[in-house]
Structure 1
């Protein structure tokens, strides 16, 4: 899992500090450099982790933990801002790097016996040599669904949305539940309606903090909107040509809205 890069290897690097990504010299968070050009973090050479490839080059992540860099020309930005500012093809590698770093941060000690855990060299896992407990990165399945009624789409304002933002309905899959059952349950719980003609759309890893979003399209069947007032503060049927502020298209919510409205 860990990888000590050669000094002259040209690669893409992601550097994490606290809960932010490091942007060097006002450039991209995915900085293309040789390891020898990153001397200010040379003490972390043994902590370098390969998280995949980006634009036909290896991509590595270095997690500085809680260290605060005392370095000029450095900017710290949060993950959501980074995702919005980077190229669309960078989404998956950014999401993976963040989730890998979070996994390693939160599994330093065994959840079964409390002993210190060690990284497994040949797979992404942490292992306890005392009780043989092995952990893998957590992935939380979520459904997200765009509901259509004639030439209108159902959009809702969640409790955690920024002011004025409306999006599609979403929720976590519960134990023992199929994806389809989760869709019907979440929609009924949050807005009190029934849907039909459920069909799969696409999936997207969503690093907030470790979700896998599975998108669906559906049609309204029956019922009137009644928001739960907890998860959902407001919900309405919007004409396709009169949409409110909605998520950007890098997100699966934005893609679902686009597929439904044709916009």
Structure 2
């Protein structure tokens, strides 16, 4: 019985859509969720286990024993049908995952997809409203300590503001259209973190923030991306959406200070450089 079911699973893997992970697209998945009826890579299968068996029940394709009903469930659903259901209303600005995506983004994408069913019920997508307000732990410029700061994101005003303590006036006002936001940069020793870059007076400035709750940070990340897309669509109405998506956010491979020569080659001046 086990050999027959094992052969059936290998045959099902060959069907369109099943040869890659249902969540990240990684080739040759070795796991499956037998109640959701999908094939998964090792990394995404671990995230499914983290959701709990009440949401997703995981088995290895070769190392575990499979019952007839479990194989039949996968045969009935498969990756393509699952995507039609669970990815029905993914916001265009939402960053989908691949093999290079930071782990927290992978986990929260899977939780959003199956546990919270945000892409079945778009009213649950708080990050698409164009407004977000809340507290994040911000790194101080002088002492490098992280302290709670209130942040307000407003698409209507094209601003991201943050406030120090209970002051009415914001400490800083940044244009959303000028922002680049990087998820989990190496500079911050927290996986649930953001680096927000912007220009001020001709120089690149940085805001480093994190939150203990990964969903909170991921929501801020996608809220900024969503606002940027809407603002770009207004500024460039004739541009294709796929072209604008490339300008929402970029993760940097390496970032730091280099000495760069000015007009006079004799003197090197420190310049902040970013390598992609």
Q: Do the two structures share a fold, i.e. TM-score over 0.5?
A: no
TM-score by length of 1: 0.31
Is the strand fraction higher in 1 or 2?
A: 1
Higher relative contact order (CA 8 A, sep 6+): 1
Is the helix fraction higher in 1 or 2?
A: 2
